[in-house]
Amino acid sequence: MQCPRLYYDLAYLWPILDPPEDFIEEAGFWKEVLSKRLGAGKDRILELGVGGGHLLSHLASDFEVTAVDISPQMIALSRKLNPQVKHIVGDMRSVRLGYRYKAVLIHDAVSYLLTETDILETLETAADHLCGGGLLIMCPDWYRETFHGTYETDRISMKNGKSIFLEQRVSDVDPNDTLIETSFKLTFEENGDQQTIEDIHITGLFYLETWLTLMDKMGFDAEALPYPVYDDNEPGYLLVGRLR
């Protein structure tokens, strides 16, 4: 799995670029899905690819949570934001914790799975950590059906007196493979000097039906729920699977 700088030496920029308060609406959607399918109770759940814990910060008080991420720097951010959560450094494709949970959550970190083998290994991880009838929720950023060529946006993010100008460009360099490339160009002031850094992220792009088929293959009854939380009003889908 690729290791972009924004998840390692530049991880400290995430609370400015994508602050926890921007996840309130999205977390409400996840909470609704969880409550409808799990019922009442403070269930034990696992989040794989927790990142800085921004989505989790709006869910953690309602559940008994364990969080996993491949990046120690992102784990440190999430631990600071979610001190009540147990945090573990690990790869979602291979980590084994020896516990079972009522739900496994994988937010947009699931987008960094680049091959069907990566997806199957991650689904196996989820299945190995779920109780019978347990719930898996995933949220890829893009599907082949929802990505319409190049996507470009820019914005200024500000927090605690620090500002970052972000230029983001997503492109499909080779439409015949399952990869897309995202360029994050960041301009900000550091120690009195202005810096401009470009960080390239490679993520997966699969058909929605591919996701659903692989989930079924790994023992999940899968469905795609409309996910109306994107700023550009483009369609999105939340993948929900119940382990058979």
| Whole-prediction pTM | 0.94
Residues 197, 5 contacting (CB under 8 angstroms): yes
Tokens 């299945």, residue?
127
Q: How far apart are CA 31 and CA 52, in angstroms?
A: 19
In the chain the domains, ranked by start, together with CATH numbers, are 5-143+206-243 (3.40.50.150), 151-204 (2.20.25)
* pLDDT at site 194: 92
At 41 the pLDDT is: 86
Residue 119 and residue 113 in contact, taking contact as beta carbons nearer than 8 Å: yes
pLDDT of residue 230: 65
Which pLDDT tens digit goes with each residue over 52-82?
999 999 999 999 999 999 999 999 999 999 9
95: nearest Cα among 132, 121, 131, 113: 121
Cα(51)–Cα(45) distance, rounded to whole angstroms? 16
Residue numbers in the chain where pLDDT is lower than 70: 1-2, 229-233
